[in-house]
Structures are given as C-alpha cells and as structure tokens.
Amino acid sequence: MSEILANDPKLVRSSAVVGAATMLSRVLGLLRDVVLANLVGANGNADAFFVAFKIPNFLRRLFAEGAFAQAFVPVLADTRDKGGREAVRELVDRVAGMLGGTLLILTLIVVMASPVVAILFAPGFLRDPEKLALTGDLIKLTFPYLLLISLTGFAGAVLNSYQRFAVPALTPVILNLCLIAAALWGAPQFDEPVVALSLGVLVAGFAQLLFQVPALAGIGLVPRPRWAPAHEGVRRILALMVPALFGVSVSQINLLLDTVLASLLPSGSVSWLYYSDRLTELPLGVFAIAIATVILPTLSSQRARADDAAFANTLAWAMRSVLLVAVPATLALLVLAEPLLATLFQYGAFSADDRAMAAASLRAYTLGLGAFMLVKVLAPGFYAREDMRTPVRIGIIAMVCNMLLSVAFVFPLMAIFSMGHVGLALATSLSAWLNAGLLYRGLRRDSALPGPSVPSKWLLQIGLASAAMTLMLWWRLPDQADWTTWVWWERATQLGMLCLTGFTIFAASLWLTGARPADLRR
C-alpha cells in the first residue's frame, strides 16, 4: 500500500496542473511588472507603492500560502477521516468566522493607524515626508487586501484538500490582470499613478474571493461564518498556526526585513529589490509552491494512516523534483541576469542604472534559490505531523542569522560599491540555506527520511547537465552593450533563443547521463 501511494502518478499530474496554472500567473506577473517598470520605474513613488503593497502581500503569504494552510489542512484531513461530512462543514464555518473576524479587526486598526504602520515598515522614509505620507495613504487602499486574500487562501485550502487544485492555482491570475488594467487604463485618470495601482490591488482582492465561490458550492462547502473560539478544531488550528508563522515563512520575514533596511538606503533600493525578487520567485512559485501545495494533503493523509514509508518517499520525491529545477535555474539566472532585466524592464522610466542595480541583487537572491525551494517542500513534512516546535526553532535561528548578516554586509557594500541592497539579498540567501539545512537535518534525525533521500547519481546527473547548459549560455551570450541598442522584440528574440538553447542542452545532457522521465515518478 505504501509503495503504491509513494509512486502515485496523481502527485505528478496534480503538480503539473498547479504548476501550469501558476506558470500562467507568473507569466502575467512578469507582464504586470513590465508595465509597472515602464510606468513608475524605480523612483521614490514606486518605492512607496511597493512598500504599501508588500505589507499585506507579506502577511498574505503567511496566511494564504503559509502558516494558516499548513495548520488548517492537517486538521481538516483528520476531521474528514474521523468525523465525516458534517464535522467538516462545522469546522469550515467556524474557521471562516474566526479568520474573517480577526482579520477584519486587524484591517480596521491598520487602516486607522496607516501613518504609524508606514514608519514601522519603512523608517527610512522619515527623511522624505512626502514619500512617507504617500506610503500611509496607499496602505489605506492596499491593506484590506489581506482580509480578502486570506479568506481566498482559506477557500483554496479547502479545495486543495478535496483535490480541487485548478481554481486556487488560477486565482492569482486575477491580481495580475487587475494591476495591468489599473496601470494601463486607471493610472491616466489620477495625478499620481500609484494610487490607481493601489485601487487595483483592492479590486483584485474582491474578485479573487468571489472566484472561489462556485468551486466551493460544487463540493457543498460554501462557508457560513460562525465566531466560535472555543471550537475544538479552531483551537487546534490556532495552536498549530501561531508557531508556524515563523517556521514556514522565514524567507518572507527576511524579505520584509530587507524592505525595512532598504528604506534606509538610497532612493530606488526598495524597487531594485522588488524587481529582482520577482524574477527569483518565478521558478520558486511555479515549481516549489506547486509541489508543496500538492504534497501537504498527501502527507497529512499518510501521517493519519501512520504510513511512514509513503510519507518519507513523498518528501524524497519532492526534493528530487525541486532540485531538478533549482540547480539549472540558479546557474541560468546568474548568467542571464542583466539580459533578462533589460528585456523585461528597461523601457520608459526604468533606466540602465536601475537595470545594473537590480541585476546585482538578482544574482545575490539567485544564490539562495535552491534553499528557498527546499524550505517550501521540507516544512510540510513537519506540519503534516503537527510538529510546530522544530521549524519554529529553526526559523528563529535563520532569522537572527539573516539580521546579523544584513548588518555585516550592507554597510561595507554600501561604502565600497554603493550597493547596500545587494548585501540584503545576499544575507537572505545565506540564511535560507541555513534554514533548509536545519530542516533537512531535523527530518533525517526524526527518521522521516530513512536512507539517502536524494541519490548521489541524481545530483551528479543534474550537476553535469547544468554545467553543460551554463557553458553554452556563456559562450552564446551577446555583449551587454548590444542589449541596450536592440528594440524590445530583438531583445525578446535573443533571450528566447538563449533560453531554448539552454533548455535543449540541459535536457539532452540529462538524457545522455542516463536520466529518464520515469525517474521522477519513482
């Protein structure tokens, strides 16, 4: 039984469905960022919008994609196995009421205290009162997005638990479409374009929540919110969720700390980090989050049945899968950082200096890409077993490490190269590797991954194929000066040819070393 579950092709198919939907969202996200870079570039007002948007977006990842989902899904799986349909409906109603009510109160407080919140998350803006005031005004428009998207994430967790992955995976597309529309058609109607973008965020929150309703109705679980803090299931979720805020979202907390410190650096630093982080998140979101989304319900069910062999094999499969993407993606981004930024963003308000600065932080973030991806698939191994203490302890260690490294790197890099923001990205990457390594060691120590989880042959095959791809990209890469003289379609054609060539070399090299598609199904 355990062998069948571990080799279940549904994991591959479900990951492909989520990955395809997420790919669509990320491609539209890149188009969105292209439009934003052309509209607002990396100036002070752009910094204000990115801070105002990042605050609820950061908390969204904790609730919608992080701690809440990791705490809620195992409890829901256990309730389904032991209590039946009515128990699930009761749990869904109570959790919806508690989550919605709590976040509504938080939203009202933050909106009323938006100037204070702006100072808290961007203290460096105190040097520019106009930028600080604009940030506070934008927070009033963007922060309600947290309430709406967290309820959307709750609905998505319910759907994922019933193997309905497509609708939750497609939902982020709506945000990108709303922001593109706000930039193209809304911005001309406002004296300050970033106000239109903030309104676009708010509209997207309502649209994403409403998009879940038909799918919930299809499984008969449209919530009827009830405020029930004493409910046993709610209390279990809260007990699991509070520590999980650290354990599953350390990388996001580190990125938020980067924003706080970047506000102290020269104008544009927040924007440079935003654009480079967005490109790093393309492989992270398409593959790692897709796999993590799919394996959590499976791990929870395997744990409920005490099927330890299947549990370990599922985690091992997830690690092999993300490494297959992380290694070549890391090397490709290191080589193609500036061509990629020039092709996507260097138009309109986004200057050559912005490209160079964003490329430097992109390379620093890229060094941690493998760690970011591994954290996403290793953390569910703890949460499926309702073990919150271990990732919390590890998360705190990684966060302290990130803070110390940020201080150690920022000031020397700022003084010598005027690139303090690169120090922030580098510190985040190194602390992510510490986080991933400690999570992996914790799972091995607890015998969740008996034996070698990732065969050395598999790592050697990926390494050789990635090296061949990197050499080919380096050899065929045009001079950087050429990219700035080409029009957009010439840049896109050249970049597309490089990517196609790199993928072909990587796939062919894997095949020559003996790797086969069936290896991912084992």
DSSP 42-84: TSHHHHHHHHHHHHHHHHHHHHTTTHHHHHHHHHHHHHHHHHH
Q: For residues 5 and 272, what is the distance between their CA atoms, to the nearest angstrom?
A: 44
pLDDT of the residue at 252:
63
Q: If you write DSSP's letter for every residue of 371-438 in order, what string do you get?
A: HHHHHHHHHHHHHTTT--HHHHHHHHHHHHHHHHHHHHHHHHHHHHHS-HHHHHHHHHHHHHHHHHHH
41 Rama class: left (phi>0) / alpha (psi -120 to 50) / beta = left
Going from the C-alpha of 489 to that of each of 80, 121, 354, the distances in angstroms are: 53, 39, 21
DSSP E strands, 140-199: none
pLDDT tier, 245 (very low <50, low <70, confident <90, very high otherwise): low
pLDDT of the residue at 3:
38
* Contacts with 321 (C-beta within 8 Å, 6 or more apart), sequence order: 15, 287, 291, 377, 520
DSSP code for 288 = I
Q: If you write DSSP's letter for every residue of 234-269 in order, what string do you get?
A: HHHHHHHHHHHHHHS-HHHHHHHHHHHHHTTSSTTH
pLDDT one-digit tens code per residue, 328-371:
999 999 999 999 999 988 887 788 888 999 999 999 999 999 99
Across the chain, mean pLDDT equals 84
Q: Which two tokens stand for residue 165?
A: 């992955």
DSSP code for 479 = P
Q: For residues 519 and 321, what is the distance between their CA atoms, to the nearest angstrom?
A: 10
Burial class of residue 22 (count of CB atoms within 10 Å of its CB; 0-12, 13-18, 19+): buried
pLDDT tier, 11 (very low <50, low <70, confident <90, very high otherwise): low
pTM: 0.74
pLDDT of the residue at 400:
86
Q: For residues 395 and 389, what is the distance between their CA atoms, to the nearest angstrom?
A: 10
pLDDT of the residue at 65:
58
Is the alpha carbon torsion for 453, 457, 459, 462 positive or negative?
negative
| Higher-pLDDT residue of 195, 444 | 195
Q: Which amino acid is at 492?
A: A
pLDDT of the residue at 4:
35
Q: At what angle do helices 369-383 and 308-344 cross, to 10 degrees?
A: 150
Q: Which two tokens stand for residue 450?
A: 């008996």
pLDDT one-digit tens code per residue, 216-231:
998 888 888 888 888 8
pLDDT tier, 7 (very low <50, low <70, confident <90, very high otherwise): very low
CB 6 within 8 A of CB 315: no
Which helix (DSSP H) or strand (DSSP E) does residue 28 occupy? helix 9-40
CB 299 within 8 A of CB 314: yes
Of the candidates 267, 257, 268, the residue with the CA atom closest to the CA atom of residue 121: 257
Q: For residues 284 and 374, what is the distance between their CA atoms, to the nearest angstrom?
A: 10
Angle, alpha carbons 122-261-52 (nearest 5°): 30
Q: Which amino acid is at 458?
A: W
Q: Does pLDDT of 508 surpass 90?
A: yes
- Give the Cβ contact number of residue 444 at 10 Å: 13
CB 184 within 8 A of CB 39: no
pLDDT of the residue at 145:
93
pLDDT of the residue at 451:
44
Spell out a b/e string for 390-413, using b for 16 or more CB atoms within 10 Å of the CB, else e.
bbbebbeebbebbeebbeebbeeb
Using DSSP, state whether 478 is helix, strand or coil. Answer: coil
pLDDT one-digit tens code per residue, 410-436:
888 888 888 889 999 999 999 999 999
- Give the Cβ contact number of residue 418 at 10 Å: 12
Q: For residues 153 and 64, what is the distance between their CA atoms, to the nearest angstrom?
A: 4
pLDDT of the residue at 239:
79
Which helix (DSSP H) or strand (DSSP E) does residue 347 occupy? none
